[in-house]
Amino acid sequence: MKKGEKRKQELLKIAYDMFLSQGYENTSVDEIIARAKIAKGTYYYYFPSKEKMLEDVIEMMIESEVETAGQVIGSDMPVPQKIVAIITSIKPAEAEQPIKDALMQPENVLMHNKIRKKLIEVVVPLLSEVVEEGINKGIFACDNIAERVRMLLIISNDTFNDRIFTESDIAVFIDMTEKLLGADKGTMSFIYDLIDKSEMEVSK
């Protein structure tokens, strides 16, 4: 018999692995408890529902990403680079390939969406801080920071996480980012060099 909190973490870890490898909808509670070698009742002693468990799993995933973002903010990186670093740290792109694949799968909409929503909610304040720093340093010039940052995240998510992108997508993303934040042309063009060319579709 395990002590409460420890067992919960154990279950969370198992669920995390299974959700990512087979998707949330395709992972049954029965499978989870089979792998954990516990009974139905025990599972529901720790989680009120399967969906609530998903929420916990997501929270777990996000925590580590927020930590990374925090380090970036505190670093002495140039502001534009900070922005990009946070945006990329945020997306599971830096995780292993199977994770990205799992999230791309259409049957994982629920999980995908919950992560996206939570991530945005959590990251907007962080990124806003950085943009503010940029404004103070004269690199950016804009109002309504939170709203702009949100758009940035939405777009970057759609462009780089949810689908295959082309060179044109990058070009427009750079252009849009600069204009959205009121930066000089060229401020963000370093992004282009960061992109892993292998991820890209051949542009036509």
Identify what 1 binds: a second copy, DNA, none; CB under 5 to 8 Å per kind.
Answer: DNA
Closest distance of CB 23 from DNA, Å: 11
Q: Taking CB under 7 A as the rule, does residue 44 contact DNA?
A: yes
Question: 130 is written with which tokens?
Answer: 């950085």
Identify the three-state secondary structure at position 176.
helix
Of residues 2, 117, 163, 185, which one binds DNA by CB under 7 A? 2
Q: Taking CB under 8 A as the rule, does residue 104 contact a second copy?
A: no
Exposed, middle or buried, 83 (CB in 10 Å: 0-12/13-18/19+)?
Answer: buried
Q: Taking CB under 7 A as the rule, does residue 48 contact DNA?
A: yes
Q: Are 133 and 50 in contact (CB under 8 A)?
A: no
Contacts with 161 (C-beta within 8 Å, 6 or more apart), sequence order: 91, 92, 93, 100, 103
Q: Taking CB under 8 A as the rule, does residue 148 contact a second copy?
A: yes
Considering the complex, state which of residue 91 and residue 148 has its C-beta at the smaller distance from a second copy: 148
Of residues 73, 93, 176, 200, which one binds a second copy by CB under 8 A? 176
Q: What angle do CA 128, 121, 82 make, to 5 degrees?
A: 35
Identify what 17 binds: DNA, a second copy, none; CB under 5 to 8 Å per kind.
Answer: none
Q: Are 24 and 41 in contact (CB under 8 A)?
A: no
Query: Which of 119, 204, 197 is CA-nearest to residue 154?
Result: 119
Identify what 63 binds: a second copy, DNA, none; CB under 5 to 8 Å per kind.
Answer: none
Query: Which of 89, 26, 83 is CA-nearest to residue 62?
Result: 89
Of residues 21, 49, 64, 168, which one binds DNA by CB under 7 A? 49
In the complex, which residues of this chain contact DNA (CB under 7 A)? 1-4, 7, 27-31, 37-42, 44-46, 48-51
In the complex, which residues of this chain contact a second copy (CB under 8 A)? 109-110, 113, 144, 146-148, 150-151, 154-155, 158-159, 166, 168-169, 171-172, 176, 179-180
